Structures are given as C-alpha cells and as structure tokens.
C-alpha cells in the first residue's frame, strides 16, 4: 500500500471543543504520524502521514469531527511521504 502525506485545514466551530485531542486519537488508531494544531485564524490544521487509505479515513473523519463540532469545510493538500514523524502530536 502506498504511503503519502496529507495536510488538512478544517474550518468551522473547531477550536475550544477538544477537536485536536480527538484528531490525535483517530490518527493513532489509523497508524498515522504527524501533528494537529489550532491556527490563529480559528481553523485547525493537521499534517498526517501514513497509508493513503488511512489518510482518506482521517479526512472523512475531519469532515465530520466530534459530534459537538461544527465543521463547515475541509481543505486538503496531498503531499509526498517524508517519513519525518515518529508519532502523532498536538502542537500547542
């Protein structure tokens, strides 16, 4: 299975509701590495690497988010796999 990278920018009611924490849990369940952080513009940004099928699952999850979130849209940018991450972390 091919590995890739995926950068996501999630818009909507996604800060202050544990979106990053749940994103980290999903990423770990899917065997992905990378990071997630709150951006100054009110969005959440995520950079994940791993198997393409699992990155697609991560993107699908981010389009829904936790049940109490209000995701308006998600921008995707597919990247080459770099292998630079050992784990998935929340950046504060």
Active site residues: 20, 38
**What order of strands is seen across the sheet that includes strand 44-51?**
70-79, 3-13, 44-51, 33-38, 88-91
The dihedral of CA 46, 41, 92, 72: what is its sign?
Answer: negative
Question: Of 33, 26, 38, 40, which Cα lies nearest the Cα of 4?
Answer: 33
- Pairwise CA distance, residues 4 & 14, whole Å: 25
């Amino acid at each position: 299975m091919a590995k890739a990278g995926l950068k996501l920018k999630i818009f909507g009611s996604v800060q202050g509701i544990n979106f990053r924490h749940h994103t980290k849990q999903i990423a770990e369940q899917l065997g992905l590495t990378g990071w997630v952080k709150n951006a100054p513009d009110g969005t959440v940004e995520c950079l994940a690497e791993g198997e393409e099928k699992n990155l697609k699952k991560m993107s699908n999850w981010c389009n829904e988010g936790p049940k109490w979130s209000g995701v308006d849209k998600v921008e995707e940018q597919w990247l080459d796999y770099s292998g630079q991450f050992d784990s998935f972390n929340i950046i504060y």
